[in-house]
Structure 1
Amino acid sequence: MPDKPSAEITIDSPLIRRLLASQAQHAVPDAASLPLEKVAEGWDSEVWRLGHALAVRLPRRELAAPLVRNEQLVLPDIAHRLRPLGVGVPEPVVAGTSGSGFPWAWSIVPWIEGERGLDVARDERSAWADRMAGALRALHVAAPEGFPVNPVRGRPLATRDAAVTQRLDALIAAGTLDAASADGLRAIWKAGLGTPEWGRPPVWIHGDLHPGNIVAHSGMLTGIIDFGDVTAGDPAYDLAIAWLAFNPEGRARFVTATGSGYDAATWRRAHAWAAAVALTLLTHSDDNPDYFQLGRDAATEVLSHAPS
């Protein structure tokens, strides 16, 4: 399993202070003097909290730089649609550019108060179902030409068949999956492959929707973050959240709340995508127990509850 890539640039407080002083004063006049604290470092980006209400998001490697730019381009419109529903997104307050010793785009975004959805017990997430359904209905509208293209997310299932098969075989060989579970997941994937593809214009999708990219506060869904993989295509990729986040009760509530906008074929593809994401998490999360457990739990949900 691959380790987290090394950062290609050292991101520290002096660097961020230089960026703030040179580019943020017009939008956040006191930015250079606000408290600054590193709060997260992922494979692609670092997040530093700026004062009480803001955060700075910076790519840590060149491969991730376009993801920040994608967010800068598309999140203002997405934020406009989701804000009335009470769902915040990291809409850039400042769309930073290269300079002051930093080579890529970077952003100042709102700080969304709450906790990771991943840290909320699955049985407590049913309260999110209605708001999540509304957020996805608002997100999944036809995208204009020129949307960011993603090589994996929102595309036909057949484009990922080889990768899914390889992961299944590797997880069996490693003893991570027993044969019965692997056969069940393979059957669900194949059922999705046999389902008609999305035949309508591509719609906006988040592209990486799972509990780690959801923010909850006081039992409610308050934010969806990390839109770096945003693209347009088949909404089934996002609808896999039905199995990634919810227990059977929450899943039924979520599916009902989405209304009639998604047909049975779309839900079958979503079920297959949920199986694929679970396999990805099990394959690539050896160094992250939270995400490995999410993969385990998601596989259990996928195997236990097919779409109606």
Structure 2
Amino acid sequence: MMHDDQVHIDADIVREMISDQFPEHGEERIERVGAIGTVNAIFRIGSSVAARFPLRSADPAACIDMLHREAAATREFAEHSPFAAPRPIGIGRPGPRYPMPWAVQSWIEGDVATPDGLADSTSFALDIAKLISSLRAADTEGRRFDRQGRGGHLPDHDGWMAVCFKNSENILDVPRLRRKWAQLRELPPSGYDVMNHGDLIPANLLVRGERLVGVLDCGSFGPADPALDLVAAWHLLDRDRRETMRMHLQSSKVEWKRGAAWAFQQAMGLVWYYQNTNPAMSALGRTTLARILDDPEI
């Protein structure tokens, strides 16, 4: 269990709910996907469908509103992404053994990226840059960043960072990390909000060979700090490939450092929170922090 409020879901429960609510898929094989994701449990239904079940307990009415917003954002993302992305199929109702709404979407083929697997691939770095550039070109339609989480004002995260530093005292070099955050949080804005995926971690990118072939978890697509999607550079690439990506995107010094700041903020929460419950996610945090701390410019 990764969360104190985590809701149980397994293949038997999913089979019952699929058979009841999506009977056209009721006879297909159901398999839980072994990903490092922390928000949803993912089940593959046959060869072309995926079901996503929120893991953390939430009010059903609030949950269905969230799923509708995510479906709309996912459709919009797919219109602008040069790489394959899931298409919403439907929203399921709560059932006797699972208390919240859930989502069904198309399945995208590919291998889940890892923090180090393609770190030295120029082709992969250019594909990520192509993705970010294409998303930035999408019209914000007058929208601005208006949600909580990464993508707005860096100092707004001071409270969360204090929690992370306190809980990391026995596992990380916290004094050094505190000094780094004190520098990063002072960075000025780097430009007007642009459209961002919002969570370009390895688990949300699908690859084949050295090429990016798919993007997952697109429900947060929306306007935010233009540096937000640059977290991918720190989660996935070595120094030379980061520079390749930076040059392709023509990122300014401030924008590039703000990308490192968002990656730092995200990574600090991963190491301690998932240390015992999701080692792969905890390891991602360590890898990302090491890349930031070892970079002479940052």
- Pairwise TM-score range, normalised by the shorter structure: 0.7 to 0.9
Choose which of 43, 47, 52 in structure 2 pairs with 1:52.
47
Q: Describe the SS at the equivalent of 2:141.
A: coil
Shift in Å, 1:122: 4.9
Q: Describe the SS at the equivalent of 2:119.
A: helix
Choose which of 102, 110, 116 in structure 2 pairs with 1:114.
110
Query: In 2, distance between residues paired with 1:178 and 1:227?
Result: 33
Task: Give the number of aligned pairs.
Answer: 288
Q: Which consecutive residues of structure 1, in runs of 5 or more, have no partner in the other structure?
A: 22-29
Q: Which consecutive residues of structure 2, in runs of 5 or more, have no partner in the other structure?
A: none
Query: In 2, distance between residues paired with 1:19 and 1:120?
Result: 40
Q: Residue deviations 1:234-262, cap 9 Å, x none?
A: 1222212111111112211111222x3x4
Query: In 2, distance between residues paired with 1:167 and 1:100?
Result: 36
Which residue is equivalent to 2:6? 6
Q: Residue deviations 1:117-162, cap 9 Å, x none?
A: 1275253554311111111111123423578843112111010023
Shift in Å, 1:98: 3.1
CA contact (8 A) 2:91 2:104 kept: yes
Which residue is equivalent to 1:162? 159
Which residue is equivalent to 1:31? 25
Corresponding position: 1:266 with 2:258? no
TM-score, scaled relative to structure 2: 0.83
Corresponding position: 1:95 with 2:86? no
Which residue is equivalent to 2:194? 203
Q: Describe the SS at the equivalent of 1:62.
A: coil
1:238-249 to 2 correspondences below 5 Å: 238-249=229-240
Which residue is equivalent to 1:133? 129
RMSD over aligned Cα atoms: 2.9
Q: Which moved more, 1:208-217 or 1:3-12?
A: 3-12
C-alpha spacing 1:46/1:178, structure 2 compared with 1 (3 Å):
closer
Q: Residue deviations 1:252-302, cap 9 Å, x none?
A: 1111222x3x43221121111222122111121112111111111111100
Shift in Å, 1:225: 0.9
Letter of the structure 1 residue corresponding to residue 28 of structure 2:
L
Query: In 1, distance between residues paired with 2:145 and 2:90?
Result: 17
Paired-residue identity, %: 24
Query: In 1, distance between residues paired with 2:209 and 2:68?
Result: 32
Q: Describe the SS at the equivalent of 1:164.
A: helix
CA contact (8 A) 1:65 1:105 kept: yes
Which residue is equivalent to 1:250? 241
